[in-house]
Chains A and B, each alone.
Chain A
Amino acid sequence: MTFVIACPNCGPREALEFSFGGETTRRAGPEASEQELAGYLFFRDNVMGRQIEWWLHRDGCRKWFLAERNTMTNQIERTFWPHERGRTA
Chain B
Amino acid sequence: MSARRLPEGPDEAILRDRPVTIEVDSKLIHCFEGDTVGSAMAVGGITITGRSFKYHRPRGLQCMTGNCPNCLVTVDGIPNVRACTEPVRGAMKVVRQNAWPSVGADIHGWLNFWSFMMPPGFYYKVFHRPRWAWHAVEPLIRSKAGLGFAPEEEDHRTRERISLHADVLVVGGGPAGLAAATEAASAGANVVLLEQRREAGGHLLGEPGGRVRAAGLVSAATDVGVKLLSGTAAFGVFDGPIVAGWNPDALYRIRARHVVFATGAIEQPAVFPDNDLPGIMLSSAVDLLVNRFRVLPGRKAVVLTASDGGYGTAESLQRAGASVRVVDLRGEVGPTPTMAGLAPVLGATILRAHGRRRVRAVEVGPPGASGGRKIPCDLVVLAGFAVPSTNLLSMTGAKVEFDDHAQAFLPVDLPPTVHAAGAVAGSRTTDGAITQGRLAGLEAAAAVGHGSAAASERVGLLRLQAAADGDPVVLPPETGLGKGKQFACLCMDVTNKELKFAVEEGFDSMELLKRYTTITMGPCQGKGCMLASQRLCGKATGHTLAETRPTTARPPWTPVELGTLAGERRSPRKETTMHDVHVDAGAEFMWAADWRRPHHYSTPGREVEAVRQRVGLIDVSTLGKFRVKGPQASDLLERLYPNRFGDMKIGRVRYGAMLNDEGVILDDGTVCRLTEDEFFVTVTTGNTAALERWMTWWLADWGLDLRVLNVTAAYAAVNLGGPDSRKVMEKLTDADVSKEAVPYMGCVPMDVAGVPSLVLRIGFVGELSYEIHFPSMYGEHVWDATMEAGEEFGIEPFGLEAQRILRLEKQHVLVGQDTDAESDPYEAGLGWMVKLDKPDFLGKRALIDLEAAGPAERLVGWTADPSIVPPEGSSVVHEGVWVGRVTSARRSATTGKTVGLAWVPAGWAQEGTHFDIQFGTVTIHATVALKPFYDPEGTRLRS
The answer to whether A and B touch in the complex, with CB atoms under 8 Å apart, is: yes
User: Which residue of B is nearest A32, CB measured?
Assistant: B845
B153 at the interface (CB under 8 A from A): no
Nearest chain-A residue to B690 (Cβ)?
A19
Is the pair B239, A74 in contact by a Cβ cutoff of 8 Å? yes
Is the CB–CB distance between A29 and B703 below 8 Å?
A: no
Q: With A28-B845, A40-B661, A41-B662 as given contacts, are A64 and B703 in contact (CB-CB < 8 Å)? A: no
Residue B334 at the chain A interface, CB threshold 8 Å: no
Q: Does A37 contact B (CB under 8 A)?
A: yes
At the interface, yes or no: B142 with Cβ under 8 Å from chain A? no
Asked if A28 contacts B700 (CB within 8 A), the reply is: no
Known pairs A40-B661, A74-B239, A82-B700; A19 contacts B693 (CB<8 A) = yes
Q: A3-B239, A19-B693, A41-B662 are in contact. Are A83 and B703 (CB under 8 A)?
A: yes
- Which residues in chain B, 801-858, are within 8 Å of chain A measured between CB atoms? 839-840, 844-846, 848-849
How would residues 146 to 181 of chain B score, 1 for a CB under 8 Å from any chain A CB and 0 otherwise?
A: 000000000000000000000000000000000000
A34 within 8 A of B: yes
Whether B697 is near chain A, meaning CB under 8 Å from some CB there, is yes
Interface size class of A (residues with CB under 8 A): 20 to 34
Query: CA separation between A2 and B254, bound complex, in Å?
Result: 11
* A82 CA / B696 CA spacing, docked (Å): 12
Known: A82-B700, A82-B701, A89-B701. A28 touches B240 (CB 8 A): no
Best-surrounded residue of B255, B846, B848 (most CB of chain A within 10 A) = B846
Contact of B840 among A2, A30, A83 (CB under 8 A): A30
**Residue-by-residue, is B688-701 near A (CB-CB < 8 Å gives 1, otherwise 0)?**
00000100110011
B240 touches A21 (CB 8 A): no
Partner of B845 from the list A4, A30, A83 (CB cut-off 8 Å) is A30
Interface size class of B (residues with CB under 8 A): 20 to 34
Q: Which of B239, B703, B849 contacts A82 (CB 8 A)?
A: B703
Q: In the complex, A63→B699 CA distance in Å? A: 11
**Minimum CB distance partner of B840 in chain A:** A30
Q: Is the CB of A37 within 8 A of B701?
A: no
Q: Is the CB of B662 within 8 A of A2?
A: no
Shortest distance from the beta carbon of A64 to any chain B beta carbon, whole Å: 4
Interface status of A44 (Cβ within 8 A of chain B): no
Across the interface, do B240 and A2 meet the contact criterion of CB distance under 8 Å? yes
Nearest Cβ distance between residue B429 and chain A, in whole angstroms?
36
A27 interface hit (Cβ, 8 Å): yes
Nearest-Cβ distance from residue A42 to partner chain B, whole angstroms: 9
Q: Looking at B238, B240, B255, which has the most chain A CB atoms within 10 Å of its CB? A: B240
Across the interface, which residues of B come within 8 angstroms of A40, CB to CB? 661
Interface residues of B in 200-256 (CB under 8 A from A): 238-240, 242, 255
User: A52 CA to B676 CA in the complex, in Å?
Assistant: 37
Q: Give the residues in chain B near A89, CB-CB below 8 Å.
A: 701
A56 lies within 8 A of chain B by Cβ:
yes
B238: nearest chain-A partner, CB-CB = A2
Q: What is the 8 Å Cβ interface bit string for chain A, positions 1-33, against chain B (1 contact, 0 not)?
A: 111100000000010000101000001111110
Q: How far is the CA of A56 from the CA of B691 in the complex (A)?
A: 13
**A2 close to B845 (CB less than 8 A):** no
Q: With A and B bound together, what is the CA distance between A83 and B702 in angstroms?
A: 10
B700 touches A64 (CB 8 A): yes
- A14 neighbours in B (Cβ, 8 Å): 255
Tell me whether A34 and B662 are in contact in the complex, defined as CB-CB below 8 angstroms, given that A2-B240, A64-B697 are known contacts. Answer: no
Q: Check A29 against B845 for contact (C-beta < 8 Å).
A: yes
Binding site for A on B (CB under 8 A): 238-240, 242, 255, 661-662, 693, 696-697, 700-701, 703, 839-840, 844-846, 848-849
Q: Which 6 A-B pairs have the closest CB atoms?
A: A64-B700, A3-B239, A2-B238, A2-B239, A2-B242, A30-B844
14 example contacts (A-B, Cβ-Cβ < 8 A) are as follows A2-B238, A14-B255, A19-B693, A28-B845, A29-B845, A30-B839, A30-B848, A37-B661, A37-B846, A41-B662, A41-B846, A64-B697, A74-B239, A82-B703
Extra inter-chain contacts (9) besides given A37-B846, A63-B700, CB under 8 Å: A1-B239, A27-B661, A29-B845, A30-B839, A30-B845, A32-B845, A40-B661, A62-B696, A64-B696
